[in-house]
Amino acid sequence: MTLSSGQTMSDAAPGRPPRHVAIIMDGNGRWATKRHLPRAAGHRQGVEAVRVIVRAAGELGIEYLTLYGFSSENWKRPIEEVNDLMGLLRLYIRRDLAELHQNGVCIRIIGDRHHLEPDIVALIEEAEALTANNTRLQLVIAFNYGGQNEIASAVRRIAHEVKEGRLDPEAITPETVARFLDTAGVPDPDLIIRTSGEKRLSNFLIWQSAYSELVFSDALWPDFTPDRLQEAIAEYQRRDRRFGGRPAVGA
């Protein structure tokens, strides 16, 4: 379902708020194009939206917030744009790490780090180590991440465990696979939001999203505000989550 800008939290029937919200942050380039600006300007404005939404998530009591920052397919973009995105990650961590730590945010970066510059890896490790014991909000940033690559990596690790005799193939369950994913220990997202009006997952958390509720916002990511986040949560609260089951007769 696509939200209209008129929906608010007051429209929602009473319902449990999502514990884990994941967002596909889409539309930075189109935001810039509409304003006759370079794409880099859209990405920079997108970082400002990240700051606002992270604060709002903490205030709304969301326990886990996962943001799709850079996909493994984004390397196909022009080198100038890729370099700009890498620079924005550096800037975000350097400028915001102290505030995030002070506000009780635990940072976790998922995705392949092997192709990242050493200084970026060092910044990621510093952010994770500094905030490891924080509990107010778990901020998961998917960077150089792809869902299919994540599953393939998990399968390789499971195969190695089987080969070494540490795991019985007959004992492998969905829970086993989940333990080998980048998101091990993080609950599956209750709600996945995609901005910009596009309606697809784009290789994002494809294992973990099996029973996630999907909400699509027409807002471009730089225009995605706390009010729009609340609209998405309101829509989520109206949903009847059955996880493959069905309600009791007469319910």
Q: Which residues are catalytic?
A: 26, 74
Contact (Cβ atoms closer than 8 angstroms) between residue 61 and residue 17: yes
**Residue 54 and residue 24: Cα distance in Å, rounded?**
14
SS3 172: coil
The region, left, alpha or beta by phi > 0 then psi within -120 to 50, assigned to residue 144 is: left
Q: Which two tokens stand for residue 27?
A: 């539309």
The region, left, alpha or beta by phi > 0 then psi within -120 to 50, assigned to residue 235 is: alpha
Please report, as a single letter, which amino acid is at residue 141: I
Distances, alpha carbon 6 to alpha carbons 2, 52, 151, 234, in Å: 12, 20, 39, 12
